[in-house]
Amino acid sequence: MKNGVKGMVMVGMVFSLGGCAPMVASGGLVATNAVAERRGPDSFIEDNWVAWKIRSAYIKSDEVQAGNINVSVYNGKVLLTGTASSQNEIKEAIAIAKNTRGVLEVSSELAVQHATAMELAQDVWISNQVKIKLLADQLVRGLDIHVETTKGVVYLTGMAKTVAERDRSIEITQSVKGVAEVVSYIEVEGKSFPLANQEKPRGGDQEPNRAKAQ
């Protein structure tokens, strides 16, 4: 019954995970990019389902501004990015995510800050440019890399076949105009965090790779 509900939600709604919205087919079939992704269609659907539950909980919460928080889920690992009005809002957002069924761990890059309409538009432009370059590059499987941007800081999630592919994804992102910093949570197939001795994210368990723009 649960899987049936998930199927109906996937048909009725188009989820955006990491700036890449799936094309939903009729009859509950998963999206084209869901089949193509390295994590597989089952994980793709489960991750989108978890992200939807977290976003729904944010909308119902009196303490969280849902529109300011991006929720990325990959293999049950949640990354929260965006802006918040207070530390209490950040704590509540993290708590809601951690208490959501299906979540394995939560990393938060949320910060108390404000983004103007111009900054939001610039962030969308940056994310689109990064995605276009990742999809066009022959050394990177762009479908597996998901992109979110907050005030010029680009967050990458997904899976790479090798460390070289992960590093290439970071280099491509660094080259995009307007990017201030790249924070990579990209997993390497067959490996787990940490892959580098880097600063630990705020409120999370994963060790991201952080790189300033070129």
What pLDDT was estimated at residue 58?
98
- Would you state the structure tokens that stand for residue 207, as one six-digit string? 């060790």
Cis omega (within 30 of 0) for bond into 22: no
Q: Return the residue matching tokens 């499987």.
A: 141
What pLDDT was estimated at residue 22?
37
CA-angle at 103, arms to 196 and 186, nearest 5°: 30
What pLDDT was estimated at residue 75?
95
What pLDDT was estimated at residue 35?
61
How confident is the chain (214 residues) per 10-residue block, as mean pLDDT?
48 42 39 71 94 98 94 97 98 98 97 96 98 97 96 97 96 97 93 43 59 70
Number of H helices, E strands in the chain: 6, 9
What pLDDT was estimated at residue 191?
65
